[in-house]
Amino acid sequence: MINFDDTKAVFTHKSNFELRKSYYLFSILQHSLLVKIGSLLLKISFFLRLPIKKLIKITIFNQFCGGENIQDCSNRINELYEFGIGTILDYSVEGKENESDFEKTKEEIIQTILFSSKNSKIPFTVFKITGLGKSSLIKKASLDFQSLEDNELVELNLVAIRVDEICRVASENRVSVFVDAEDSWYQDYIDKVVESMIFKYNNEFSIVYNTIQLYRHDRLQYMKDLISRCNSNGKKIGLKLVRGAYMEKEREQAFKKNYPDPIQKDKQATDNDFTKAVEFCIENIETVSLCAGTHNEKSVLHLTSLMQKKAFKKNDSRIWFAQLLGMSDHISFNLSKEGYNVAKYVPYGPIKEVIPYLIRRAEENTSVSGQTGRELSLIKIEVERRN
């Protein structure tokens, strides 16, 4: 049984100063009103060009990001690997809306793949398809593809070409790449593109991973059908399983636009589907490579238990656990200590450019029940242990 309360193993890499800084940061993040006010002030400060970059860098940026560019991330990559934890490099610039930015993002993602191919400490890279094309166009393609005009089809084809270039480089360098799931109104198009990449590149090895958000009630069946098609066609498939964190946003949109709510009726239903998804992947492990992207201790223990029952090695190359940088270190470090494959999402990018990502991280910490409280309690235990 893994001891997630072993704070000595979890926080060995943090100095007393860093530990206290994390404590103060999570103390703020547990208050949703403070997060909303802080997010607004952040946007206003950048708009007014106030000199707050250094303050952001030493607080929330250092907690959740690896650096401003790939090279900047080297210290964090090495630090994690010292404790047996891999890095998932994540270029986290969001919200761009012109072709030159999309090309720049594509080239940066390719650079992460090439960098990873020369560094065994980086088992995966990751990207978002909305970083490679207009979000409004991807939404329209998902919701009503038939209504696209000729110029929009040309533009959409460029998105698919960019995705294919990324996956081709990943395939040539044998670097696995995660394609992140996004809001439901983008996901149909994302699934179509990712599936085409899976069937093109996942021949002997899971190069392309699709992400399954189990807080949607239709995703378990979608995943089963996808695995079945891969089985029938002799293809490997990579799957990253997550719960998802934007129920309020999804429900609000469904109510506003008067369409059926895509979200599970409650958290228990999400938990149940996550468990079933993990079990189905393990049953099909000859086809599936699995990454359990979870901050849930019960889900982690369930998967480790399944591995033991199946007599899988702890470091079976087909099974990974992943958490976000700066969060759930008690899971990541203790799993690694026991010999399991673990990787941290390490986002990077210019501070101003990753503000949308940082705001989402802050909001997620306030919306995930018990998450921030658990982080705080463990930090407090470690502070007291050191004293």
DSSP code of residue 14: S
Beta partners for 87? Answer: 344
Q: Is the pLDDT score of 368 beyond 70?
A: no
pLDDT tens-digit map of 320-365: 999 999 999 999 999 999 999 999 999 999 998 898 888 877 776 6
pLDDT, residue 365, reads 63
In angstroms, how far is the first alpha carbon of the chain from the final one? 28
Q: In angstroms, rounded to a whole number, what is the distance separating the alpha carbons of residues 245 and 242?
A: 9
How much is the pLDDT for 51? 84
Cα–Cα dist 208/175, whole Å: 9
Tokens encoding 70: 């790939």
Q: How does residue 373 score in pLDDT terms, banded at 50, 70 and 90?
A: confident
pLDDT of residue 367: 57
- Residue type for position 374: R
pLDDT tier at 95, thresholds 50, 70, 90:
confident
Do residues 56 and 42 touch, judged by C-beta distance below 8 A?
Answer: yes
With H, G, I as helix, E, B as strand and everything else as coil, classify residue 305. Answer: helix
137-194 pLDDT, tens digit per residue, is: 999 999 999 999 999 999 999 999 999 999 999 999 999 999 999 999 999 999 999 9
E strand or H helix that includes residue 324 = strand 319-324
213-224 residues labelled b (16+ CB within 10 A) or e (exposed): bbbbbebbeebe
Mean of pLDDT values over 51-71: 92
pLDDT at residue 372, rounded to an integer? 76
- 39-43, 211-215, 316-320: least confidently modelled range: 39-43
Q: Residue 274: pLDDT band by 50, 70, 90 thresholds?
A: very high
Sequence spans of domains, the chain: 69-358
Q: Has residue 366 got a pLDDT over 80?
A: no
pLDDT at 52: 85
> Mean pLDDT, to the nearest integer, of 112-117?
98
Residues in CB range of 2: below 8 A, 6 or more apart: 300, 301, 304, 334, 335, 338
Model pLDDT, residue 263: 94
Look up residue 50 and give its two tokens: 């106030």
Contact 61, 353 (CB under 8 A): no
**Centroid of chain to Cα 7:** 24
Per-residue pLDDT at 280: 98
Neighbours of 342 (CB within 10 A): 25
Report how far residue 336's alpha carbon sits from residue 266's, in angstroms, rounded to the nearest whole number.
Answer: 31
pLDDT above 70 (res 369) = no
What does the pLDDT look like over 194-214, one tens digit per residue? 999 999 999 999 999 999 999
Q: Is 235 helix (H, G, I), strand (E, B) or coil?
A: coil
CATH (one of 3.40.250.10, 3.30.70.3270, 3.90.226.10, 3.20.20.220) for 69-358: 3.20.20.220
Mean pLDDT on 93-111: 93
- Six token digits for residue 108: 């940066």
Token couple for 356: 């949308």
Predicted confidence band of residue 248 (pLDDT cuts 50, 70, 90) = confident
pLDDT at 287 (0 to 100): 97
- Evaluate if residue 377 carries a pLDDT over 80: yes
- pLDDT, residue 356, reads 84
Q: What percent of the chain has pLDDT over 70?
A: 97
For residue 166 the two structure tokens come to 């990324």
Please tell me the predicted confidence (pLDDT) of residue 334.
Answer: 95
Mean of pLDDT values over 61-70: 95
With beta carbons less than 8 A apart as the criterion, state whether 216 and 164 touch: no
Spatial CA neighbour of 93 closest among 69, 71, 74: 69
Of the two residues 283 and 17, the one the predictor is more confident about is 283
Strand 85-91 relative to strand 124-127: parallel, antiparallel, unpaired?
A: parallel
Mean pLDDT of the chain: 93
Alpha-carbon distance of 73 to 346, in angstroms, equals: 8
| 144 CB-near residues (< 8 Å, 6+ apart) | none
pLDDT for position 233? 96
Would you state the pLDDT for residue 150?
97
What whole-number distance in Å separates Cα of residue 295 and Cα of residue 31? Answer: 20
H helices of the chain, where? 7-11, 16-29, 32-47, 53-56, 62-64, 74-82, 99-117, 135-143, 150-172, 184-201, 219-232, 247-257, 267-283, 297-309, 329-337, 355-367, 371-386
Q: How confident is the model at residue 39 (pLDDT cuts 50, 70, 90)?
A: confident
